[in-house]
Amino acid sequence: MTLSLATNPQEWDAFLIGQRFRPFLQNWTMGEVYREIGQEPVRLEAREDGRITGICFGHVVRAKRGRHLTIPYGPICEGRIAKGELDIDSQLATRNSQFFPWIDSLKEIAKAHRCSFIRLSPFWTLSDPLNSELCSLSTPSPLHLLAEHLLYLPLTTQDQWSVEVPPPPAGGGGTLQKQTKKTEDDIFSHFRATHRNLIRRAQKEGVDVVTSDDPDRDLPLFLTLHEETQKRHNFTPYSDAFFRAQVKHFASQGCLSLYLARHENEVLAASIHVHFGGETSYHHGASTQKSKVPASHLLQWTAIRDALARGDHVYNFWGIAPILVEDARCKMQDAKHPFSGVTLFKTGFGGSFLELTHCRDIPLSIAYHGTRVFECIRKWRRGF
């Protein structure tokens, strides 16, 4: 295995699309988004016999609390381990022995950019064998970088994200098994009864959900609602520059939808969805509480129907509060969690849960300890 900086966007994305988990945050375009807002992208690839066997995208964050290299949902390695595969022991030995060079290369890159630590939030399930290797080389981050408790809606008869499903074959260009897509009626019937009623009510009251034909033009409508939503829920928002860069780069490739839900000529809800590799991700949402009309419920149903029409296999609702499943019923571990409201909203659409490994830090200098103290205080104040 050889590691080097990547130069071919088409090969990079083709490899990513060939994996079971293909988070769009690791695709080539995200690097250009961060470059536009002043955060230099780093793209590392592994090759064997000339073909890509792993990718890792990161970006250098010049934060006041400490400059660091952030790895969002990476690295992505070929051949995810699934229950029932043959010769698992030999595969584990190979993958584990190959993981250490990744870390060594990332350390060299981070030090060259004068980073005090590396922060990784891999898209790995808790059962992934690489977790033990990562834990031996890192320390738990005080904060989460990205969603670690996910809610997703399988859009095909077989759940392609399930660990029981065999992964694509090695060799690059492998694809997930073709499955029959679910029908709208089947998906709608598994919504919470109150959600089905609220969707019908929104339709009856004349809510009009449209996909913007010019996301760059209509982005200010989203930003206005997003500012209101941020003040209401008191979360740390992405910058307007990030939203503009993301919309610019993904919309130009036909990989982004900006939804607007209007009632009586007023925008009540808006959202940004990214669709890549057969997965639709509900990445950003915003709404107003000035109206009691349930526009957000109809907006989500519209986006789900569009994902079905595209032939996607997963609709990813992204982050929710930690969930306990007991007797086929789910409940939040902490009813006072800051995400309790959004969790109640998202789980009303049904779906499955996926828990990812917690964010990890690799300290590179003594300055990291100051960052850790600051973030521990921030976590205490924030409540999670």
Determine the angle formed by the axes of helices 295-310 and 193-204, rounding to 10 degrees.
100
Q: How high is the mean pLDDT of the chain?
A: 88
Pair 112, 29 in one domain: yes
What gap in Å lies between CA 199 and CA 182, rounded to an integer?
Answer: 19
> What's the whole-number mean pLDDT along residues 330-341?
72
In this predicted structure, the answer to whether residue 80 has a pLDDT above a threshold of 90 is no
Which pLDDT does position 98 carry in this prediction?
A: 66
In a domain, 268, yes or no: yes
In a domain, 156, yes or no: no
Query: Do the beta carbons of residue 222 and residue 272 sit within 8 Å?
Result: yes
In this predicted structure, the answer to whether residue 228 has a pLDDT above a threshold of 70 is yes
Pair 55, 126 in one domain: yes
Pair 115, 255 in one domain: no
Pair 121, 199 in one domain: no
In a domain, 166, yes or no: no
Q: How do residues 248-276 score in pLDDT, each as one tens digit?
A: 999 999 999 999 999 999 999 999 999 99
In this predicted structure, the answer to whether residue 165 has a pLDDT above a threshold of 60 is no
Number of domains within the chain: 2
Which pLDDT does position 260 carry in this prediction?
A: 98
Buried b (16+ CB within 10 A) or exposed e, 295-317: bbbbbbbbbbebbbeeebbbbbb
What gap in Å lies between CA 282 and CA 168, rounded to an integer?
Answer: 25
Q: How do residues 357-384 score in pLDDT, each as one tens digit?
A: 999 999 999 999 999 998 898 888 777 6
Pair 81, 125 in one domain: yes
In a domain, 158, yes or no: no
Determine the angle formed by the axes of helices 9-17 and 28-36, rounding to 10 degrees.
120
Pair 242, 299 in one domain: yes
Tokens of 1: 């295995």
pLDDT-derived band at 113, boundaries 50, 70, 90: very high
Is the sign of the CA dihedral 105, 108, 110, 112 positive or negative?
Answer: negative
For tokens 């709608």, what's the residue?
188
- CA 61, 235, 222: angle at the middle one, nearest 5? 90
Range of weakest confidence among 92-106, 151-165, 225-239: 92-106
In a domain, 301, yes or no: yes
Pair 347, 364 in one domain: no
Of 235, 223, 233, 1, which is closest to residue 96 (Cα–Cα)? 1
Tallying the residues shown for the chain, one arrives at 384
In this predicted structure, the answer to whether residue 82 has a pLDDT above a threshold of 60 is no
CB count, 10 Å around CB of 86? 6
Residues 6+ positions from 384 with CB-CB distance below 8 Å? 337, 338, 339
Distances, alpha carbon 1 to alpha carbons 82, 120, 130, in Å: 23, 22, 17
Q: Give the best-scoring range by mean pLDDT among 115-124, 155-164, 322-331.
A: 115-124
Pair 221, 275 in one domain: yes
Which pLDDT does position 79 carry in this prediction?
A: 64
Percent of the residues in the chain that have a pLDDT greater than 90, as a whole number: 70
Distances, alpha carbon 251 to alpha carbons 9, 308, 349, in Å: 17, 19, 26
What gap in Å lies between CA 241 and CA 157, rounded to an integer?
Answer: 39
Distances, alpha carbon 370 to alpha carbons 121, 142, 367, in Å: 21, 12, 6
Kindly give the pairing relationship between strand 323-326 and strand 329-332: antiparallel
Distances, alpha carbon 68 to alpha carbons 111, 249, 299, 368, in Å: 9, 24, 37, 9
Query: Do the beta carbons of residue 126 and residue 356 sit within 8 Å?
Result: yes
In a domain, 266, yes or no: yes
Helices (H), the chain: 9-17, 28-36, 88-112, 130-137, 184-189, 193-204, 215-233, 240-251, 295-310, 340-347, 367-382
In a domain, 162, yes or no: no
Tokens of 65: 């609390």
Q: Higher-confidence residue: 137 or 167? A: 137
Query: Do the beta carbons of residue 1 and residue 101 sit within 8 Å?
Result: yes
Which pLDDT does position 326 carry in this prediction?
A: 55
In this predicted structure, the answer to whether residue 108 has a pLDDT above a threshold of 60 is yes
Pair 46, 189 in one domain: no
CATH number of the domain to which 198 belongs: 3.40.630.30
Pair 67, 199 in one domain: no
Q: How do residues 174-197 score in pLDDT, each as one tens digit?
A: 454 557 889 999 999 999 999 999
263: domain range?
A: 184-355
In this predicted structure, the answer to whether residue 88 has a pLDDT above a threshold of 50 is no
Pair 372, 267 in one domain: no
Which pLDDT does position 324 carry in this prediction?
A: 67
> What's the whole-number mean pLDDT along residues 231-256?
93
In this predicted structure, the answer to whether residue 89 has a pLDDT above a threshold of 70 is no
Residues 6+ positions from 279 with CB-CB distance below 8 Å? 22, 24, 312, 313, 314, 315, 316
In a domain, 296, yes or no: yes
What gap in Å lies between CA 60 and CA 76, rounded to an integer?
Answer: 19
- What does pTM read for this prediction? 0.90
Residue type at 265?
N
Pair 364, 351 in one domain: no
